Every structure is written in C-alpha cells, then in structure tokens.
Amino acid sequence: MSLSKDDVLHVANLAHIDLSESQILQMQGELNDIFKMIEEIRAVNTDGVEPMLHPHDGAERLREDVVTETDIREKAFVNAPETCDSMFLVPQYVES
C-alpha cells in the first residue's frame, strides 16, 4: 500500500492540519515508510506461534500488602514558609 499526495492531503484535512508542500512530501514519505514496516511485519510466518498475553512470561513475585511508608507530612512541611490544614500556602497569582 502506498499513499499518494492526495491521500496525505485528505488525512490532513480530516485532522484540520494545514501542511506546506514540503511537509506534504515529508509526511507522504514517512507514512509510506510506516506502511512498508507494517507489510514486513505482516509477511512474517507466525503459524504455530502461541499468542502471548504479555511479553514478559515470568511469574511476578508478590509481597504481603502492608504499609511500608509512614506519614511524612510533618517532614514535608518543615521548610515550608506557610501551611494551613496540611496544605502548602502559596502567594495568590490570579486576581479575582
């Protein structure tokens, strides 16, 4: 499959993208390269290959679901110039 210049213009129009002539030619080349890669992948014989759910077939080591981190809010607020109700207070930048 190969995209023509008109195909690229049609896709750009659907996406509401304005392309210059050089961008059209660049996109045409890049998209055609992508289609070539897809055709190469499709050409690979996968008969007898079992589909995988995940590329990493190993078993996951599970640990017990316990709290490992403690509440560090107090440490987080040590260097804060101002706090209120466990929140950082910052200067107002947007005028009401």
Q: Contact 12/28 with Cβ under 8 angstroms?
A: no
Separation of first and last alpha carbons in the chain: 57
Q: Which domain holds residue 25?
A: 5-42
Where b means 16+ CB within 10 Å and e means fewer, 50-62 reads eeeeeeeeeeeee
Q: Is residue 30 part of a domain?
A: yes
Q: Is residue 59 part of a domain?
A: no
* pLDDT of 23 strictly over 80: yes
Q: Is residue 27 part of a domain?
A: yes
* 88: its two tokens: 């950082």
Spatial distance between the Cα atoms of 92 and 82, rounded to a whole number of angstroms: 13
Q: Tell me the mean pLDDT in the region 66-74.
A: 83
Percent of the chain at pLDDT above 70? Answer: 98
What is the CATH classification number for the domain harbouring 9?
1.10.20
Q: Is residue 11 part of a domain?
A: yes
Helices (H), the chain: 5-14, 21-42, 73-76
Q: What is the pLDDT of residue 55?
A: 78
Q: What is the pLDDT of residue 86?
A: 84
**More confident site: 56 or 81:** 81
Q: Tell me the mean pLDDT in the region 24-51.
A: 95
* pLDDT of 54 strictly over 90: no
